[in-house]
Structure 1
Amino acid sequence: MTAGGCFCGKVRIQLNGQPLKAGLCHCLDCRKLTGSIYSFGFVIKTADLEVLGSPKALVKTSDSGNERHNYFCPDCGTPLFGQGMKADGTPEETTVLRAGILEDSQVLTEWKPQAELYTDRRLEWVPPIEGAAQCSAMIPL
């Protein structure tokens, strides 16, 4: 179990389990969502995610063509997590948690990225992560 939250502290996240996967994404959507040149995320079981506070959702069709709900703090704008939705409007079984919101640096150290996504969009001066799968598109979550 580990916890984290947004910059202003109004939305808190508790992860009540271990990540299933860890990865970097170089797609344009992730760049814009994070304000960085790539995102670092953990794929987690949606059932393991506990949210305290009221994040705001932004719905967008991602680079993969799937509709994603991306959640942010409505006050400070910190990106928190993203989810796909089933046809009935409920979240899919997995969620992508923005790893940088977690406060336990040990968890971040232990879960080195296992894959890099949209590597054809990675900036030339950013080296590949040694040992991580290199994927030119989205992989199944």
Structure 2
Amino acid sequence: MAVGGCFCGKVRIEYSGQPITSALCHCFDCRKLTGTLYTYNFVFKMADLKITGSPKEVAKTADSGNQIKNYFCSDCGTPLYGLKMESTGTPGETVILRAGILDDIAVLNEHKPKVEIYTDGRVNWISPAEGADQLIGMPPLP
């Protein structure tokens, strides 16, 4: 089991099992959400996560056209995870966990990115991740 949380420690997240996939994302939304040039994310089944604390929810239409809800610590602002919303307005079965919130560097070392998405938004001085599939847009979430 891996654990992580926000900068101030008021929101904690634990997961069991293995990520469905791991991805670097270069989209405009991820840059704005994090203040960095890209994000590194793990995709999990929501049932495999345990979230304690009260993250703040911000909903919007993502670059992909999907409705997504992003969750942050309401105290320190740390971006935590995102949920794609189904057309019915209910959350999908998968969660996009911001990998940087995990406490154990060994977990991050175990999981190299399997895919890079929105590669047309990657700045030209960052090299593609070795061995990762390169996609211009967003693949369907499992």
- Measured against the shorter chain, the TM-score band is over 0.9
Are 2:29 and 1:29 aligned? yes
Q: In structure 2, how many angstroms separate the alpha carbons of the residues matched to 1:2 and 1:89?
A: 29
Provide the residue aligned with 2:62 in structure 1. 62
- More displaced stretch, 117-126 vs 84-93: 84-93
8 A contact 2:66–2:85 mirrored in 1: no
Q: In structure 2, how many angstroms separate the alpha carbons of the residues matched to 1:93 and 1:15?
A: 14
SS at match of 1:43: strand
Are 2:103 and 1:109 aligned? no
Provide the residue aligned with 2:38 in structure 1. 38
Q: In structure 2, how many angstroms separate the alpha carbons of the residues matched to 1:14 and 1:118?
A: 28
RMSD: 0.9
Q: After TM superposition, list the pairs within 5 Å mapping 1:1-141 onto structure 2.
A: 1-141=1-141
The CA deviation string for residues 39-85 of structure 1, in whole angstroms up to 9 with x for no partner, is 00001011111110000000010000000000000000000000012
Q: How many residues align?
A: 141
Q: In structure 2, how many angstroms separate the alpha carbons of the residues matched to 1:132 and 1:85?
A: 26
Residue 102 of structure 1 deviates from its aligned partner by 0.3
* Structure 1 residue runs without a partner (length 5+): none
The CA deviation string for residues 105-124 of structure 1, in whole angstroms up to 9 with x for no partner, is 11100110000000011000
Residue 86 of structure 1 deviates from its aligned partner by 2.5
Q: In structure 2, how many angstroms separate the alpha carbons of the residues matched to 1:124 and 1:87?
A: 36
Residue 87 of structure 1 deviates from its aligned partner by 3.9
SS at match of 1:126: coil
Q: In structure 2, how many angstroms separate the alpha carbons of the residues matched to 1:76 and 1:40?
A: 20
Q: In structure 1, how many angstroms separate the alpha carbons of the residues matched to 2:63 and 2:88?
A: 22
TM-score in terms of structure 1 length: 0.97
Q: In structure 2, how many angstroms separate the alpha carbons of the residues matched to 1:89 and 1:66?
A: 11
Residue 88 of structure 1 deviates from its aligned partner by 4.1
* Structure 2 residue runs without a partner (length 5+): none
TM-score in terms of structure 2 length: 0.96
